[in-house]
Structure 1
Amino acid sequence: MAKVTAVNISETKGVVKETIEKGYFQLNHGLEGDAHAGSWHRQVSLLAQESIDKMIKSGAEGLTPGKFAENITTEGIVLYDLPIGTKLKIGETEMEVTQIGKECHKGCAIRELVGDCVMPREGIFAKVLVPGWVKAGDEITVIS
């Protein structure tokens, strides 16, 4: 079963995010209070714990959910294999995959902290189609 392992938030772009108990994902906006939220195609970022584990195995230390600035840390689903347009039910929400990976911006605090960033290769982005709450332990289902 694919599930959420953490919900993470930050008020500033390009920094690690803090894990919160649950987050409210607004329609066509993203995680309420997060710096990346807004009316654009990268409202929500997702990264698998399995991707974080790859970085740990390569020697990076101290990696926990949110260190790659992802809003939702997942487990049990290969996110970067999902085609753009895939619809996911995550907790109370529904989201649509809009982008796979991204370029890191210059001066990325994550790359400086851990020496590499897996987000450009294995992270994905989505927009919120149905608003609602998401918390650790919530199931993730591919709708279409």
Structure 2
Amino acid sequence: MNRIPGAVVAVSRSSSHDFSKPTAGAITLVEGWGVEGDAHAGATTQHLYLVKKDPTRANLTQVHLIQEELFAELADRFVVRPGELGENVTTSGVDLLTLPLGTRLHLGDDAVVEVTGLRSPCSKINAYQGGLMKALVSKDGDGQIIRKSGVMGIVVTGGVVMPGDPLRVELPEGEHVALGVV
């Protein structure tokens, strides 16, 4: 089992479908459900866009994680703080965007989130800060789309997660599959 060290910088939740989520002292992850008290928690999808497409779809977006390093990358043009892009967990020390599908993120003592894919930022990002969408979605030299707005996952094992908790990465066995958009 390959493990990469990191840390939880901040945790956030919101009981309403607001764009940003206020930070909290702790969040509780519930197996197969998501973040207790968060509008996006549930066995079936709770993201408003996805509900319109298929309200019976399994919720592969129970937990949204963004790496703090993104904020530093954006700092010359934008001011972004933990929770402001709608993430539940802000991390540091791990490049979340390069993790393969099925990676398990061990958060704190007990919680485990399995990465299901990349977050595709919604147009509400430009209402939050004009031009931010373009900074979060770009193309590389080969014309491939690069999405920087974090990863999504499902709760495999519940537990309490707090700022300062360790983040351990467990890569899946076998051939690694790159993340797609969920």
* Length-normalised TM-score, structure 2: 0.72
Matched, 1:29 2:29: no
Residue 8 of structure 1 contacts residue 72 of structure 1 at CA under 8 Å; is this kept in 2? yes
Identify the residue that residue 7 of structure 1 maps to in structure 2: 11
Matched, 1:112 2:138: no
Identify the residue that residue 45 of structure 1 maps to in structure 2: 64
The number of residues matched between the two structures is 139
Cα deviation, 1:56-102, whole Å, max 9, x if unaligned, reads 12x113x2101100000001100000011111111120110001131
Seq. identity, %: 33
Residue 27 of structure 1 contacts residue 131 of structure 1 at CA under 8 Å; is this kept in 2? yes
Residue 5 of structure 1 contacts residue 137 of structure 1 at CA under 8 Å; is this kept in 2? yes
Aligned counterparts of 1:44 and 1:143: Cα–Cα separation in 2: 17
Aligned counterparts of 1:33 and 1:16: Cα–Cα separation in 2: 15
* Length-normalised TM-score, structure 1: 0.89
Greater shift, 73-82 or 93-102, is seen at 93-102
Matched, 1:19 2:23: yes
Cα deviation, 1:78-129, whole Å, max 9, x if unaligned, reads 000001111111112011000113141x4x1x32122214388121001000
Q: What does 1:48-63 correspond to in 2, within 5 Å?
A: 48-57=67-76, 59-61=77-79, 63=80
Residue 47 of structure 1 contacts residue 70 of structure 1 at CA under 8 Å; is this kept in 2? yes
Matched, 1:126 2:161: no
Greater shift, 9-18 or 63-72, is seen at 9-18
RMSD: 1.6
Residue 10 of structure 1 contacts residue 18 of structure 1 at CA under 8 Å; is this kept in 2? yes
Aligned counterparts of 2:30 and 2:64: Cα–Cα separation in 1: 14
67, 70, 86: which is aligned to 2:87?
70
Aligned counterparts of 1:79 and 1:101: Cα–Cα separation in 2: 11
Aligned counterparts of 1:68 and 1:97: Cα–Cα separation in 2: 18
CA shift at 1:14, angstroms?
4.5
| Aligned-partner residue type, residue 13 of structure 2 | I
Which 4+ residue blocks in structure 1 deviate beyond 6 angstroms? none
134, 141, 144: which is aligned to 2:168?
141
Residue 84 of structure 1 contacts residue 100 of structure 1 at CA under 8 Å; is this kept in 2? no
CA shift at 1:5, angstroms?
0.4
Aligned counterparts of 1:68 and 1:93: Cα–Cα separation in 2: 22
Aligned counterparts of 2:166 and 2:82: Cα–Cα separation in 1: 17
CA shift at 1:13, angstroms?
2.3
Unaligned 5+ runs, structure 1: none
Greater shift, 18-27 or 115-124, is seen at 115-124
| Aligned-partner residue type, residue 80 of structure 1 | L
Greater shift, 1-10 or 42-51, is seen at 1-10
